[in-house]
């Protein structure tokens, strides 16, 4: 019986239809799944949609749909996208599935019976966007993770005793150093846990759209207690748990590497074996997001250049685990250079020469010894890269082999050798053709997880009748090309694409697809106005004079470790010592842009801690909901410490 391997993507939230960030994770998971199948594993890949919570309730109401109608539409978009992109999803689980509800309730009861859950009351600031309570925040303070204003919430909750799991989690990370990867994410998580953990709210009473807490139906489960359990409910009764791999984006590593193992330890259930958190895909050096309106979708790209070109680009261009930039221009350029001019050209010229010079029959080996050594090195490099999720490194090694074979063909000039009557020249011709064809065979096998459709075509052109997917990855070696095998029908693989027309077409289709998705969920064309926050209640002049606004000058600025949103600033407002202020402006301003800048600050705001740093004031900035902040400034020179009136 083959060994089992179970891996998951995140359970994607249905506040937006799938974009290229979702696609990036899912394509990487599909690559891993196909590779593991080639190694003989019985693989299951799970994905799904996270459909509960206040954001969904509000989004559905805004478009005059029920939450179920809204989630049916968006969840359907995810399922359809993965099918059209040829992603081999084995289980697609929705959190609205009644069978999933049972598993969430079972996890809760197991935690409760073991004394890790209690009922309490909470009044504090809550971020609707992140669905998180914000500790040490005051009314209207920005969320440290997303920068949006928080809301004051008072309600009865069930709490999970997360504070009791600090030592257990640290022991887990020490005993299993591969539990969180890459190491940068592991270090961030360990630092966060060492900073202290607070008990976690796992239920809400202020909303109805969720899974009821057993015996306490006025409570519904908090989104992370609900969504994370999908990894188990998706394979309930299949003897698949624990998962071998959770593949996620780095923005949700805290939930998967802290909350999730703590829940499972509390319940006495097995833990997943590994959590791997990759970086962001940036567009124009900004993280893609719905609120910024800079999302890129995969299906318009598929229509113009094909899904496999996108797969190859994402796996080759970006170092998996780090942030990487997406560019339409770079996508087309990479396609033309690596696929059209590289792999496609090598396959075409190799099979054409065998057809012309050897009547379409594969010659005998052993091939060029130097290339054979390079090939064995490439096989090892690709295997290691796939296992460690360093996909770009493996593809780079493989393309170095293809370049070496291109060079060999030019140097040996088969078109000249075929004209010679000398036996030595004919032997050299056979050696050259065998070397090229054997390299194509190996490349097809190793590239199958990245280019499953294209490599299947190459495999058939080489004359094989069994699928390339059935190649045993661990048995791959140089010299396995079957001499005397007749080639199959040949055809074009990667036709060259003109850069600018392709980019223009992808952008055009992107705009059309956005309009289609907006219409699908009933979004009104004038919804932009919802970005403007309603006016606060009126105040008197006595209220206003209580706020002490001062002119300050930034003396130093640096990013706050572990946050993409926050800058740590030292600001002179004319006092004996500078003020320390933590501001959620890192996505709009670099530390270098802040140095020497004069800003308006609230100087008499009570201190509060953000990411362990005490902030002694607040910088004044303006923004619409979900957009970058713009700092308030001065047209004329004003002295440091001057009061705004």
Distance CA 43, CA 37 (A): 6
Q: Please check the confidence at residue 154 and state whether its pLDDT lies above 90.
A: no
CB 246 within 8 A of CB 231: yes
| Domain boundary assignment for the chain | 4-298, 329-475, 541-644
Give tens-digit pLDDT for 277-293: 999 998 876 676 665 56
Q: Which residues pair with 204 in a beta bridge?
A: 220
Mean of pLDDT values over 356-375: 96
Query: Which phi and psi (to 5°) does residue 260 adopt?
Result: -60, -50
Give the C-alpha separation, 575 to 199, whole Å. Answer: 38
The DSSP call for residue 142 is: B
Name, in order, each residue with C-beta under 8 angstroms of 483's C-beta and a sequence gap of 6 or more. Answer: 362, 363, 364, 365, 434
Could you tell me if 49 and 74 are in contact, meaning their C-beta atoms sit under 8 angstroms apart? yes
Q: Hey, how many other C-beta atoms are within 10 angstroms of the C-beta on 635?
A: 5
Question: Average pLDDT for residues 576-585, to the nearest whole number?
Answer: 91
- pLDDT at 136 (0 to 100): 67
C-alpha distance from residue 453 to each of 94, 308, 460, 481, 494 (Å) = 28, 8, 11, 21, 12
What's the chain's average pLDDT? 91
State residue 117's pLDDT score. 97
Cis amide linkage into residue 587, ω under 30° from 0: no
Count CA atoms within 13 Å of residue 415 on its CB side: 5
CATH topology of domain 541-644: OB fold (Dihydrolipoamide Acetyltransferase, E2P) (2.40.50)
Q: How far is residue 640's CA from residue 527's CA, in Å, rounded to a whole number?
A: 41
Contacts of 297 (CB under 8 A, 6+ apart): 17, 18, 19, 20, 510, 513, 514
Q: Is the pLDDT of residue 624 over 80?
A: no
* Digit-coded pLDDT (tens) for 469-522: 999 999 999 999 999 999 999 999 999 999 999 999 999 999 898 888 877 776
pLDDT for 54 = 81
Contact by Cβ (8 Å): 244, 7? yes
What is the torsional sign of CA 398, 404, 409, 410?
positive
State the CATH class of domain 329-475. mainly alpha
Q: What is the token pair recorded at 598?
A: 């004069």
- Residue 525 pLDDT > 70, yes or no? no
pLDDT of residue 530: 43
Q: What is the band of 430 on the pLDDT scale with cuts at 50, 70, 90?
A: very high
- What does the pLDDT look like over 302-322, one tens digit per residue? 999 999 999 999 999 999 999
Q: DSSP string covering 185-250, please?
A: HHHHHHHHHHT----EE-EESS--SSPEETTEEEEEE-HHHHHTTHHHHTTTTTT-PSPSEEEEEG
Per-state percent for the chain, helix, strand, coil, to nearest 5 = 45, 20, 35
Spatial separation of the C-alpha atoms in residues 385 and 641, rounded to whole Å: 56
Q: What would the pLDDT profile of 179-235 be if each residue is shown by its tens digit?
A: 999 999 999 999 999 999 999 999 988 888 999 999 998 999 987 899 999 999 999
Per-residue pLDDT for 576 more than 50? yes
Tell me what percent of the residues of the chain surpass a pLDDT of 70. Answer: 94
- Give pLDDT tens digits for 61-103: 888 899 999 999 999 999 999 999 999 999 999 999 999 999 9
**Residue 528 clears pLDDT 90, i.e. is over it:** no
Rounded CA-CA distance 455/461 in Å is: 10
**Which CATH superfamily includes the segment(s) 4-298?**
HUPs (3.40.50.620)
């Amino acid at each position: 019986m083959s060994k089992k391997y179970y891996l998951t993507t995140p359970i994607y939230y249905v506040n937006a239809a799938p974009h290229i960030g979702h696609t990036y994770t899912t394509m990487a998971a599909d690559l891993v799944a196909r590779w593991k199948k080639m190694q003989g594993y019985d693989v299951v890949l799970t994905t799904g949609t996270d459909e509960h919570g206040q954001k969904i309730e509000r989004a559905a109401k805004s478009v005059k749909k029920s939450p179920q109608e809204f989630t049916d539409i968006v969840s359907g978009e995810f399922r359809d996208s993965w099918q059209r992109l040829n992603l081999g999803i084995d289980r697609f689980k929705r959190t609205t599935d009644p069978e999933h509800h049972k598993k969430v309730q079972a996890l809760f009861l197991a935690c409760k019976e073991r004394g890790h859950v209690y009922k309490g009351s909470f009044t504090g600031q809550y971020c609707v966007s992140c669905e998180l309570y914000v500790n040490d925040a005051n009314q209207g303070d920005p969320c440290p993770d997303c920068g949006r204003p928080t809301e004051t919430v008072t309600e009865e909750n069930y709490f999970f005793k997360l504070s009791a799991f600090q030592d257990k989690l640290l022991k887990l990370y020490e005993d299993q150093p591969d539990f969180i990867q890459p190491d940068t994410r592991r270090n961030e998580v360990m630092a966060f846990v060492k900073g202290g953990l607070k008990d976690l709210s796992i239920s809400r009473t202020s909303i109805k759209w969720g899974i009821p807490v057993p015996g306490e139906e006025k409570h519904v489960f908090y989104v992370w207690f609900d969504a994370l359990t999908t990894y188990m409910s998706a394979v309930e009764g299949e003897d698949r748990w624990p998962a071998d791999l959770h593949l996620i984006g780095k923005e949700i590593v805290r939930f998967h590497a802290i909350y999730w193992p703590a829940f499972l330890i509390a319940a006495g259930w097995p833990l997943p074996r590994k959590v791997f958190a990759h970086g962001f895909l940036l567009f124009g050096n900004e993280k893609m997001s719905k609120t910024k309106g800079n999302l890129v979708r995969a299906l318009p790209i598929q229509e113009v250049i094909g899904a496999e070109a996108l797969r190859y680009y994402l796996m080759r261009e970006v170092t998996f685990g780090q942030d990487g930039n997406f560019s339409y221009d770079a996508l087309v350029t990479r396609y033309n250079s690596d696929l059209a001019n590289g792999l496609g050209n090598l396959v075409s010229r190799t099979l054409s020469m065998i057809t012309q010079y050897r009547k379409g029959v594969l010659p005998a080996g052993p091939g060029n010894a130097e290339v054979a050594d390079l090939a064995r090195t490439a096989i090892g490099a690709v295997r290691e890269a796939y296992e460690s999720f360093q996909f770009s490194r493996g593809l780079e090694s493989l393309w170095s082999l293809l370049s070496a074979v291109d060079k060999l063909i030019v140097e040996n000039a088969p078109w000249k050798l075929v004209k010679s009557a000398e036996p030595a020249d004919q032997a050299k011709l056979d050696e050259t053709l065998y070397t090229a064809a054997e390299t194509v065979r190996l490349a097809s096998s190793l590239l199958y997880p990245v280019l499953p459709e294209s490599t299947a075509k190459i495999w058939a052109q080489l004359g094989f009748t069994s699928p390339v997917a059935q190649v045993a990855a661990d048995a791959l070696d140089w010299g396995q090309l079957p001499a005397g095998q007749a080639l199959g029908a040949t055809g074009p693989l990667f036709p060259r694409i003109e850069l600018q027309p392709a980019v223009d077409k992808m952008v055009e289709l992107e705009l059309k697809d956005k309009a289609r998705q907006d219409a699908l969920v009933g979004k009104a064309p004038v919804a932009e106005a919802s970005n403007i926050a309603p006016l606060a209640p009126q105040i008197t002049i006595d209220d206003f004079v209580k706020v002490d606004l001062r002119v300050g000058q930034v003396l130093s600025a640096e990013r706050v470790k572990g946050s993409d949103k926050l800058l740590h600033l030292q600001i002179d407002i004319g006092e004996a010592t500078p003020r320390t202020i933590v501001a959620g402006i890192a996505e709009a301003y670099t530390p270098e842009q802040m140095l020497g800048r004069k800003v308006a600050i609230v100087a008499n705001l009570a201190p509060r801690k953000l990411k362990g740093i005490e902030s002694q004031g607040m910088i004044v900035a303006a923004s619409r909901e979900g957009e970058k902040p713009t700092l308030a400034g001065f047209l004329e020179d004003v002295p440091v410490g001057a009061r705004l009136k």
